[in-house]
Amino acid sequence: MEDIQILAIESSCDETAASVVKNGRTILSNVISSQIELHKLYGGVVPEIASRKHIEKINQVIEQALEDANVTLDEIDAVGVTYGPGLVGALLVGVAEAKAIAYARKLPLVGVHHIEGHVSANYIEHPDLEPPFLCLIVSGGHTHLVIVKEYGVFEILGRTRDDAAGEAFDKVARAIGLGYPGGPKIDKLSKEGNPKAIEFPRAKIDGCPYDFSFSGVKSAVLNYMNQAKMKGEEVNRADLAASFQAAVVDVLTEHTMRAAEDYGITKIAIAGGVASNQTLRAAIEKACKQRNFRFYCPSPIFCTDNAAMIGVAAYYEYQKGVRHGWDLNAVPNLKLGER
């Protein structure tokens, strides 16, 4: 079989990224230019700044990805790009760039769903992993529990009713003065705290055992902070972070195990930025071991936004015959399973 090499581009939020992926599973390069330092000043991602920074960086990042992979555009077989969901102005930079390269080089263009990319990150380091399997997707904008039925085909079992898991981490981190991005900071600070110090609510939704809700635990943390302030008491931030994280991790783990048991699925994967959380990884791994399930997770660098995962997803879409036209546009609220 002839090799298929895909140049992949990701610019949906605050990372400008490009990668060259061979035959869907071999990452020849993975270049990520993060804007975190820039957005830190504002406590979150500023869309207008993100778009402008993508424009500045995208050509450099692509050149670097080709150089690291030791290939030229002549050896590329298709261009894959995230076209949604995400920030519209940010997405447009990657989409316009991918279209320009594909048009100039007469290459097929494959638009990729960002969340399908996150799920596909699991294929990079696990050559044995193939659908079907259960996947918990936890990122800054999404919390979904899905069955991956085939490559790129999902049955959604559960989703968040309000905040995404990563959003809850970011909001709580801001409230306790840790700054942006909150997830990694809470992860780190929690190691010094007692996860049983404060009992925060673990939300359940009647009749929907796989759905999530994180606004309750977020409000509980804010209330706890306010009450301590009114009483003039010092808050132990490490205990608070660890207790909040424990509440979120418990719910994510419980719902995932429940779905696996109910549907008789024994292969469990996790994906998205929050999947790099060490406590979550350990909790799901332990729960899987107890039940004799196989557990899969990408290395942290492939959990947060990157283009390698987009190249992997693009490969499987390409193999299915998916080709996008020159009218491909950014779709900021693209739903999972939509084309």
**Nearest CB to Zn ion, comparing residues 29 and 139:** 139
Q: Which does 93 bind (CB under 5 to 8 A by kind): ligand KG4, Zn ion, none?
A: none
Determine contact, residues 252/165, Cβ cutoff 8 Å: yes
Rule CB under 6 A: which of 251-310 touch ligand KG4?
Answer: 272-274, 276-277, 304-305
Q: Which does 45 bind (CB under 5 to 8 A by kind): ligand KG4, Zn ion, none?
A: none
Q: How many residues bind Zn ion (CB under 5 A)?
A: 2
> Would you count residue 317 as binding ligand KG4 (CB under 6 A)?
no
CA distances from 274 to 20, 35, 111, 319 (A): 25, 18, 24, 29
Considering only 184, 193, 195, 298, the residue that binds ligand KG4 (CB under 6 A) is 184
Alpha helices by DSSP H, 36-87: 36-40, 47-69
How many residues in the chain?
339
Per CB under 5 A, the segment of 41-49, 209-217, 278-286, 305-313 that binds Zn ion is: 305-313
- Per-residue x/- mask for Zn ion, residues 128 to 167, rule CB under 5 A? -----------x----------------------------
Tell me which amino acid residue 140 is: G
Rule CB under 6 A: which of 116-175 touch ligand KG4?
Answer: 118, 139-141, 166, 169-170
Q: Which does 331 bind (CB under 5 to 8 A by kind): ligand KG4, Zn ion, none?
A: none
211: which 2 tokens?
Answer: 């759905």
Rule CB under 6 A: which of 191-220 touch ligand KG4?
Answer: none
Strand 143-150, strand 153-159: pairing: antiparallel
Q: What is the 3-state secondary structure (H, E, C) of 126-189?
A: CCCCCCCEEEEEECCCCEEEEEEEECCEEEEEEEECCCCHHHHHHHHHHHCCCCCCHHHHHHHH
Determine contact, residues 91/330, Cβ cutoff 8 Å: yes
157: which 2 tokens?
Answer: 């079992």
Q: Closest approach of Cβ 35 to ligand KG4, in Å?
A: 12
> Would you count residue 122 as binding Zn ion (CB under 5 A)?
no
Q: Closest approach of Cβ 305 to Zn ion, in Å?
A: 4
Q: Closest approach of Cβ 4 to ligand KG4, in Å?
A: 26
Considering only 97, 167, 239, 305, the residue that binds Zn ion (CB under 5 A) is 305
Query: Taking the mean position of all CA atoms in its chain, how far away is CA 209?
Result: 23
Distance CA 10, CA 81 (A): 6
Q: Which does 184 bind (CB under 5 to 8 A by kind): Zn ion, ligand KG4, none?
A: ligand KG4
10 Å CB burial of residue 126 (0-12, 13-18, 19+) is middle
Tell me which amino acid residue 67 is: E
**Nearest CB to ligand KG4, comparing residues 8 and 66:** 8
Distance CA 61, CA 33 (A): 7
Q: How many residues bind ligand KG4 (CB under 6 A)?
A: 20
Query: Taking the mean position of all CA atoms in its chain, how far away is CA 175?
Result: 23
**Nearest CB to Zn ion, comparing residues 167 and 305:** 305
> Would you count residue 9 as binding ligand KG4 (CB under 6 A)?
no
Q: Closest approach of Cβ 309 to Zn ion, in Å?
A: 9
- Judged by the rule CB under 5 A, the positions of this chain that interact with Zn ion are 139, 305
- Judged by the rule CB under 6 A, the positions of this chain that interact with ligand KG4 are 13, 118, 139-141, 166, 169-170, 181-184, 187, 272-274, 276-277, 304-305
